[in-house]
Amino acid sequence: MSSPRVLPAPLLPVLLRCLSALLVLAGLGHTLWYGLDEPGVALAFGALVAAGELSRHRGAEGREQAPLGAAGGLAYTLLGECAGRSTEHGVPQVVAVVAVGALLGRLPHGAWWRGTTADHLTRRVLTVAFAAVCFQPLHDSGLLSGWSGHARVLLLVGLLVVTALCDAVLAAALARARTRWPYGPLLRDELRGLLGIGSAVCATGVVMAVAVGVAGLWALPVFSLPLLLTQLSFRRYAAVRTTYRQTIASLARATEIAGYTPPGHARRVAELSREVGRELGLGERELTVLEYAALMHDIGQLSLVDPVPAGATAGLPTAEQRRIARMGGAVVRQTGVDSEVAVVVERQADPYRDQPLGARIVRAVNAYDEKTRDAGPSGPLRALEDLRLATAHDYQSEVVESLARVVARDGLTLPVVG
């Protein structure tokens, strides 16, 4: 077996981080050279962005979210008046204030220059710069002086919708470069996320900008409260999702505790199934169903009087495999888990042409894990070859090849198919 392949560092995140760094340096240089316009306004919005970043959290699907910081940055970007007086801060100062506030809010968390945190800050700077370039020149030139009431609000909402779409495209591109996952499902998940906390962020940003223009800076704490309550609700939802997953994982360990399956088998199958699902383009919701089904795919073995040696059901007669799978589906339905999870569990032993995609993935990954267990260094290659030879009836060829690509990324060099 040859040495593991070293994947080249993705170029897109480096270019975007360099671009955002140049924008921040240009904004800071311009602001320091010409001075800070409306220092009180800049300080208030910078503190709001910093507080929002300081209270950031991970959503139910693992995304980092700082809704208050995002709303504050967008409100400062779209600010044209403060208590009836026209503002003149301009694009460079917007970028400088938002970037400094975001960095200060991230400092207590540490490691702001790496991984998802660096991508988050890059997106924040680029989206704010985009919105500021679209709005501030129009305001400074006086073209918006005749826009008031509904027309001005609709303009701000439209601008924020375009900015949010650009941010979703950018977030999916950065995630694609970082993870090598398919771009389409990543973009679909980002767009779906806009319907949740993203819509609240955009609405709060518009309301803040309009309210500060009329009532002054006192509007900031007033209109921050609803978004803080929304963020609290999302955080509780994420906690419930985490507890729910831990409960399913604990239930799946029943077969290991009873001695029916080897330790760690369900966890390995779940993790590898999720990676294969991403390779095949499944979205976040489908991946969650797949993960839960993979965790519980062997729970039907609890109905056996005598355990299968090493829990390896792939070598059993087809009728016995189907009986165990249907018993597992019945157990899953009794637990109150989503019925889609039960369907995947109970149909994993059917011919693959009659299975949903989740069942095809779980069946192939389960067989791969059973064949590679205690098989030595060449076990993965032999297991994949066995799965390829059985694609006529037992396994879907697309699933097997996706599994091969996932395994290859983990350090194996696989033979070229065909």
Query: pTM for the whole thing?
Result: 0.76
Q: Give me the CATH number covering residue 370.
A: 1.10.3210.10
Does residue 390 lie in a domain region?
Answer: yes
Q: Do 59 and 97 lie in a common domain?
A: yes
Does residue 242 lie in a domain region?
Answer: no
Q: What is the pLDDT of residue 113?
A: 56
Among 237, 272, 296, where does a domain finish? Answer: 237
Among 205, 237, 269, where does a domain finish? Answer: 237
Q: What is the pLDDT of residue 4?
A: 38
Q: Do 119 and 259 lie in a common domain?
A: no
Q: Do 286 and 220 lie in a common domain?
A: no
Q: Are strands 85-86 and 57-58 parallel, antiparallel or unpaired?
A: unpaired
The maximal CA–CA distance of the chain, rounded, in angstroms, is: 82
Q: What is the pLDDT of residue 62?
A: 52
Q: Do 210 and 283 lie in a common domain?
A: no
> DSSP assignment of 235-273, as one string?
HHHHHHHHHHHHHHHHHHTHHHHTTSS-TTHHHHHHHHH
Does residue 415 lie in a domain region?
Answer: no
Does residue 215 lie in a domain region?
Answer: yes
Q: Do 92 and 228 lie in a common domain?
A: yes
Q: What is the pLDDT of residue 277?
A: 92
Q: Do 333 and 261 lie in a common domain?
A: yes
Q: What is the pLDDT of residue 5?
A: 41
Among 178, 211, 237, where does a domain finish? Answer: 237
Does residue 2 lie in a domain region?
Answer: no
d(CA 33, CA 92): 11
> DSSP assignment of 128-143, as one string?
HHHHHHHHHHHHHTTT
412-418 long-range contacts, Cβ below 8 Å, gap at least 24? 412/1, 412/4, 412/380, 412/381, 413/1, 413/2, 413/3, 413/4, 413/5, 414/381, 414/384, 415/381, 417/388
| Residues constituting the chain | 418
d(CA 251, CA 336): 12
Does residue 148 lie in a domain region?
Answer: yes
Q: What is the pLDDT of residue 76?
A: 93
Q: What is the pLDDT of residue 244?
A: 83
Q: Do 225 and 328 lie in a common domain?
A: no
Q: What is the pLDDT of residue 146?
A: 66
Q: What domain range is 319 assigned to?
A: 253-409
Q: What is the pLDDT of residue 381?
A: 86
Number of domains in the chain: 2
Q: Do 212 and 335 lie in a common domain?
A: no
Q: Do 233 and 264 lie in a common domain?
A: no
Residues of the chain with pLDDT under 70: 1-9, 57-64, 109-115, 146, 148-149, 310-311, 374-375, 410-418
Write the CA distances from 85 to 88, 216, 292, integer angstroms. Answer: 10, 9, 56
Q: Do 159 and 277 lie in a common domain?
A: no
Q: Do 187 and 284 lie in a common domain?
A: no
Q: Do 286 and 188 lie in a common domain?
A: no
Q: What is the pLDDT of residue 7?
A: 40
Q: What is the pLDDT of residue 22?
A: 95
Q: What is the pLDDT of residue 410?
A: 62
